[in-house]
Amino acid sequence: MTQNNEPSHIYRSRRVLILGCGYMGLDIALRLSESGNLVKIMDVDSTTFSRIPDEILESNRIQTVHGDGIFEDDLRRAVADHQIDVFIAATGITSVNITSAQLAQHLIKIPNVLCVVDDEDIEEIYSQMGMHILNRRKLAVEHILVDAMEQNK
């Protein structure tokens, strides 16, 4: 309880499902698992899981799920054993990310859905529909500009 007798917030780690075990998806998974989150990573190509360090797989910090995020059954199988708090669609294919994000948000009812896209027109359309869209190019440009300006301080 806080001083004004309101219950204090209880924080817990998030349960995250990441679609895409490419460079971006794997980096996100590693960083989230290092900060104590429970992470699953799904990919249609199970050979991509070989890039996950053995000690992380053995410690069960990241669980792998072989499946295709554009199929509702595969997504439901990935979330079957526990409720997912965050879904991140981070494959290199915008159409796959958009489709899987819509399934995760509207059918599976994951509360926080993030979708990575490469196309500004797609970003605008789906943002207006209430989806949380991240444009890969904009993110990179913003990061570069911030780093460049901090170098001049």
Per-residue pLDDT of 31-60, as tens digits, reads 999 888 999 999 999 999 999 999 998 888
More confident residue, 139 or 21: 21
- Is the pLDDT at 8 greater than 50, yes or no? no
pLDDT per residue as tens digits for the range 103-136: 999 999 999 999 999 888 787 888 887 788 888 8
Among 62, 58, 10, residue whose Cα is nearest residue 37: 62
- Give the Å distances, CA to CA, from 45 to 49, 65, 118: 8, 10, 21
The per-residue DSSP string of 48-72 comes to: GGGGS-HHHHHTTSEEEEE--TTSH
Cα 82 from Cα 74, distance rounded (Å): 14
Average pLDDT, the chain: 87
Two tokens at 149?
């300006």
Residues of the chain with pLDDT > 90: what percent? 58
- pTM, to two decimals: 0.83
User: pLDDT digit string (tens) for 61-83?
Assistant: 899 999 999 999 999 999 988 78
Q: What is the largest distance, in Å, between two alpha-carbon atoms of the chain? A: 54
Under 8 Å between Cβ of 22 and 47: no
pLDDT above 50 for 143 = yes
